Amino acid sequence: MSQRVLTTESGAPVADNQNSATAGAGGPILLQDQHLLEKLARFNRERIPERVVHARGSGAYGYFEVTDDVTGFTRADFLSEVGRRTETFIRFSTVADSLGGADAVRDPRGFALKFYTNEGNYDLVGNNTPVFFIKDPVKFPDFIHSQKRDPFTGRQEPDNVWDFWANSPEATHQVTWLMGDRGIPASYRHMNGFGSHTYQWTNAAGEAFFVKYHFKTNQGVRSLSAEQAAEQVGKDANSHQTDLLQAIERGVNPSWTLYVQVMPAAEAADYRFNPFDVTKVWPHADYPLRRVGRLVLDRNPDNVFAEVEQAAFSPNNFVPGIGPSPDKMLQGRLFAYADAQRYRLGINHTQLPVNAPKAATVDNYGRDGLHATRYGSRQDKNYEPNSHAGPAQTGAALASPLAVHGWTGTHEAPLHAKDDDFFQAGELYRLMSADEKDRLVANIAGGLSQVTRDDVIEKNLAHFHAADADYGKRVEEAVRALRED
């Protein structure tokens, strides 16, 4: 095999990649050394800003295969036929820590999935929990600030974490999830995934349904105790990345079965819980799981930076037959996710290979901006309407319209019959075994006992008491015991 020639970015051959050009054998380096300057300048710019949340992540390619007929609920083409396969890319992530953080930590996990459909890319951005800490996006920046490093101490501070939760009672349900056994997955392969939010499906007849997505791992759910996780982090901070990479390289392709809960749109207004409140679940007894298909991961990325770190997801990337709901957190994310990628990667980030559609053709009037690669022909115009046979609108909405009424202004979400911040957290606690309850109480007490302000501790204890009397009593006793030691 002939030796490949090293070149500069412009394609010129490099004569010496071991020694910089100098003024004489021992003299200073010359400004004219283009190869040196180009390498250093490129090195300085090789890293894009890390994600504010979900910075530490892993990804893989695969496919989604439809196994059950759901055409009665949605006209999405990639779900239209049993046996139909669609290429996918998934990115798993932790939420609060930085890019250099460890994998085996107590934190929700991102579960972001891109379907490369023939009607455009469909992004489903969720977590490994069915609920979230807050229900309104105006609180999201404050929530994340409370969970990340304090600007003065440079550390994650228990006072900040629990102070926010003390003043946000709606977080009690998610805190119970996070501090329970599933708070530290053993690997990305051994956890479930959820769309978390409520979405809309529309069938060919125009009938609308609200849906929730559930990806059940076929590997079985496995989690780590706090002690096991600490040991794992000490052995391999990249344990989840290592596991996913090696499993796929061995041909042990992880898979999940997708189920959905389906609610006819007309039932939403009178449902006992607000169906658009992401701090709540829909009990399966009310809306049972319906199987849709399976997700299989079978190929690792060739370049983690180019494909995993530059992968961009936005929940406003819908396809015909799928659309948003009035879920306020979802509504905020429809803007925030895409805007974050415009900041990190530029306005043309959708043209990067991992983000570009693979089964559909992009045809619009976007031409300019940094890293633009779609120029069009000299006859193509960059405005619409035009008289030059450019792309035109279809007039067909992706999903059904949502009815609205009332006055503009800042409003709390409407209360439904069983809406409060604590009932479902109590239901989750009461579903746990005795051992699960022991570990949950120990995990909460371990964090809450580190808080320095008594009033913050008392507010949090009140939330657990409101969820379940035994829950509150046990946490209170455990916190008191740890603080007296």
386 part of the active site: no
CA atoms of 357 and 374, how far apart (whole Å): 13
- CA angle, residues 265, 270, 274, in degrees to nearest 5: 85
Which residues make Cβ contacts (< 8 Å) with residue 421, sequence separation at least 6? 169, 170, 172, 173, 279, 463, 466
From the candidates 35, 121, 127, 214, give the one annotated as an active-site residue: 127
Mind giving me the DSSP string for 81-123?
STT-EEEEEEEEEESSS-TT--SSSSS-EEEEEEEEEBTEEEE
Q: Which residues, at least 6 apart from 198, have a Cβ–Cβ distance to it below 8 Å? A: 210, 211, 212, 275, 276, 278, 325, 327, 330
Q: Is residue 67 within 8 Å of 82, Cβ to Cβ?
A: yes
Is residue 35 within 8 A of residue 43, CB to CB? The reply is no
Q: What is the dihedral of CA 99, 102, 106, 110, to 10 degrees?
A: 40
Per the listing, tokens 């580190």 go with: 450
For the record, the structure tokens of 188 come out as 């990305």
**388 tagged catalytic:** no
Q: How far apart are CA 269 and CA 393, in angstroms?
A: 33
> Which residues have CB under 8 Å from 290's CB, separation 6+?
68, 70, 259, 260, 261, 262
Query: How far, rounded to the nearest angstrom, does the alpha carbon of residue 20 sit from its chain's CA centroid?
Result: 45
Q: Is 436 left (phi over 0), alpha (psi -120 to 50) or beta?
A: alpha
Block residue for tokens 């709901």: 325
Catalytic residue among 35, 54, 190, 349: 54
Structure tokens at 370: 């940094």
Active site residues: 54, 127
